[in-house]
């Protein structure tokens, strides 16, 4: 049975479609900070992360890369792990959904649910988003697009297994009511209730036959398991869950999870599909699902398509691991999206880390070495100003702990900096350089430097979960073994008479904005401006040679040898012409029939990929945004 002092946290497993950007990386850093703090509080923690490696999107990406799917995901998974390690994250287990144990358990789960009637075979017809690998009903679409990613959807029909979500709907809603803390922030819970549970759950399609790169349904191998069922089960297979009841020690010790840390865009999968799946397996539900906000680039979501992606390793090379961790954890609020800009990064590093934190530590160490040969001693010569510093330190700790336990890390960090600012002000209030000129004030000067060092110790211990390397450097430089968070209820435990380092390290150097922006330009060189070729002028006589006529598409089908081409039969009045056009990305053959288009009617016939084309359709744009020119005029009308 799980002990109250055990704490199990998981991240969402990272999809192996490509290298994770800094927005993806935020989640592992956030989770690491939460777990590190729990360890400081005395919990026995288990921290799991990993990679999600199946699905049609991976199959396509591997093909584009000229690799077999397994070789492709091996490469991407290794890159994910490299970045997680680079960010100094202290996970206990990195699971991959291609791990043999996981694959076997997913198959056994699927079979168990089928045998007990929670999964059944039928046909599915609906709108499918390739990017999200999800089916949607028409009512769930937003402006005809995928409600999750905003991408294109297409009608699809296939034989599939279904999971009876509807059977558990009322039970799930009751669970929400009985466990109000289950979904955080609360706004995410309201979305699930209003958008999915109240309208009524549809049974979930949980298998595919249209691709192969996934876990096979072992009793019907033409089907593969839906990627989200596969992915969600990792939270229990990774700690040794066994369908047959032979669970590993980790499962018995740590399940149910204390929190699943996930992005706000996948809350539905984790708070509807996942708890219902666990109910069907008769397993305890996780205690909480925390749907964190996004990190935006300026005001836009990061996207390779938009060209605004930043990667963690590039940031680390420029600013260092702890500076990047600090920025991520401080700039993303609990329930609102955060933003990353180069200007704000520089401001935070120069202002918070170099000036407030780094300068405080270095000034204090420098004065201890200058005035006392590095010996820090409490000589008990106190003044009223000391009490304010001590109370600020003592009050900071419970506030910090509470906010960390509520996953409000940005506010928790602010509490540390309240202490750091007050400690800097304490230097101004006590003016050690003035005290040093008066031999009779030497004991008072020693006490001031002791109080400064002790306040720094408080800050450094609480910073361990945020900036672990920086925390250790500070505690090492003040040469203390008093590093227990739980003992920060007494001011004055720093060992009097300790010698601090005489070679203090500069924790954070101030950045020159011009130098940083020069590096940024090298990182993202501006794309060369391609001069548009000037279209040669034509005369009215040239234009007069072209006959433009209104035609109506009476038949349309895909080109037999080219995915991007459609072959249309177009009535132009006196005859029907066959025209081949590169519009398949934007138009489905069945939707194009009946469209009135403008045709270049006297174009010399030509063969396109083996099929004759007897004209041209006027169109503009590119890819899915391409539009044909239409005309609300009778068929055969000449355009002048």
- Count CB neighbours of 600 within 10 A: 15
The annotation status of 556 as a binding-site residue, yes or no, is no
Tell me which residue has tokens 């020119």. 629
**Residue 132 annotated in ligand binding:** yes
CB atoms within 10 A of CB 230: 27
Q: Is the dihedral of CA 66, 71, 77, 82 positive or negative?
A: negative
Nearest partner of 640 among 547, 560, 569, judged by Cα: 547
Q: Which of 260, 270, 289, 234 is nearest to 95 (CA)?
A: 234
- Tell me whether residue 205 is annotated as binding: no
- The rounded distance, in Å, linking the Cα atoms of 253 and 512 is 50
- Strands 498-499 and 375-376 turn out to be antiparallel
Nearest Cα residue to 597 out of 545, 556, 561: 556
Pairing of strands 154-163, 204-205: antiparallel
Whether 555 and 595 have beta carbons less than 8 Å apart is answered as no
Report CA Rg, the chain.
Answer: 32
Q: Parallel, antiparallel, or unpaired: how do β-strands 289-292 and 183-184 relate? A: parallel
- DSSP letter for 193, please: I
**Cβ partners under 8 Å of residue 222, min gap 6:** 209
Q: Are 464 and 494 in contact (CB under 8 A)?
A: no
Residue 635 tokens, joined: 């068929």
What distance in Å separates the CA atoms of residue 158 and residue 152, rounded to the nearest whole number? 19
Assign 132 to helix, strand or coil.
coil
Instruction: Tell me whether residue 129 is annotated as binding.
Output: yes
List, as residue ranges, the binding site for Zn(2+). Answer: 129, 132, 146, 149
List, as residue ranges, the binding site. Answer: 129, 132, 146, 149
């Amino acid at each position: 049975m799980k002990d109250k002092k055990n704490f199990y946290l998981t991240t969402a497993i990272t999809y192996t479609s490509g290298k994770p950007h800094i927005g993806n990386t935020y989640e592992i850093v956030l989770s690491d900070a939460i777990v590190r703090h729990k360890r400081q509080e005395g919990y026995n923690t288990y921290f799991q992360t990993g990679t999600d490696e199946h699905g049609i999107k991976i199959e396509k990406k591997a093909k584009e890369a000229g690799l077999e799917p397994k070789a492709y995901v091996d490469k991407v998974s290794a890159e994910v792990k490299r970045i997680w390690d680079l960010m100094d994250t202290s996970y206990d287990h990195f699971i991959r959904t291609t791990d043999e144990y996981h694959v076997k358990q997913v198959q056994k789960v699927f079979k168990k649910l089928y045998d007990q009637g929670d999964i059944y075979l039928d046909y599915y017809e609906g709108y499918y988003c390739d990017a999200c690998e999800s089916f949607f009903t028409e009512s769930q679409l937003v402006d005809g697009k995928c409600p999750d990613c905003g991408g294109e959807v297409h009608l699809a029909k296939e034989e599939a297994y279904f999971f009876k979500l509807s059977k558990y709907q009322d039970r799930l809603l009751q669970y929400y009511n009985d466990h109000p803390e289950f979904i955080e922030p609360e706004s995410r819970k309201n979305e699930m209730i209003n958008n999915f549970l109240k309208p009524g759950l549809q049974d979930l399609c949980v298998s595919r036959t249209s691709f192969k790169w996934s876990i096979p349904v072992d009793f019907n191998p033409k089907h593969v398991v839906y990627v989200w069922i596969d992915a969600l089960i990792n939270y229990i297979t990774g700690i040794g869950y066994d369908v047959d009841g032979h669970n590993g020690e980790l499962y018995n010790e740590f399940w149910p999870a204390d929190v699943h840390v996930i992005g706000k865009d996948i809350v539905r999968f984790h708070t509807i599909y996942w708890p219902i799946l666990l109910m069907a397996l008769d397993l305890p539900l996780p205690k909480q699902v925390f749907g964190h906000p996004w990190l935006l680039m300026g005001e836009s979501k990061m996207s390779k398509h938009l060209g605004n992606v930043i990667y963690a390793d590039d940031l680390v090379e420029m600013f260092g691991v702890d500076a990047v961790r600090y920025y991520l954890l401080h700039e993303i609020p609990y329930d609102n999206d955060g933003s990353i800009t180069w200007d704000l990064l520089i401001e935070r590093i120069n202002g918070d880390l170099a000036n407030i934190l780094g300068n405080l530590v270095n000034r204090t160490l420098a004065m201890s070495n200058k005035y006392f040969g590095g010996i820090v001693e409490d000589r008990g010569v106190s003044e009223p100003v000391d009490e304010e510093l001590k109370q600020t330190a003592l009050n900071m700790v419970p506030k910090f702990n509470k906010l960390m336990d509520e996953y409000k890390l940005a506010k928790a960090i602010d509490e540390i900096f309240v202490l750091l600012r007050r400690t800097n002000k304490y230097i101004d209030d006590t003016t050690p350089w003035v005290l040093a000129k008066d031999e009779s004030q030497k004991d008072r000067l020693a006490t001031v430097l002791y109080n400064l060092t002790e306040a720094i110790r408080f800050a450094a211990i609480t910073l361990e979960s945020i900036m672990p390397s920086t925390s250790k450097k500070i505690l090492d430089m003040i040469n203390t073994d008093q590093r227990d968070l739980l003992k920060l209820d007494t001011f004055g435990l720093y060992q009097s008479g300790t010698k601090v380092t005489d070679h203090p390290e500069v924790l954070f150097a101030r950045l020159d904005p011009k130098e940083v922006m020069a590096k940024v330009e090298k990182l993202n060189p501006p794309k060369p401006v391609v001069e548009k070729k000037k279209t040669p002028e034509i005369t009215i006589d040239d234009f007069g040679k072209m006959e433009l006529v209104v035609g109506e598409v009476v038949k349309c089908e895909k080109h037999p040898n080219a995915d991007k081409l459609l072959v249309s039969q177009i009535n132009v009045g006196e005859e029907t012409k066959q025209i081949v056009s590169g519009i398949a990305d934007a138009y489905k053959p069945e939707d194009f029939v009946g469209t009135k288009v403008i045709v270049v009617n006297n174009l010399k016939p030509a063969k396109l990929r083996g099929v004759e084309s007897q004209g041209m359709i006027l169109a503009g744009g590119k890819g899915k945004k391409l539009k044909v020119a239409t005309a609300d005029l009778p068929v055969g009308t000449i355009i002048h």
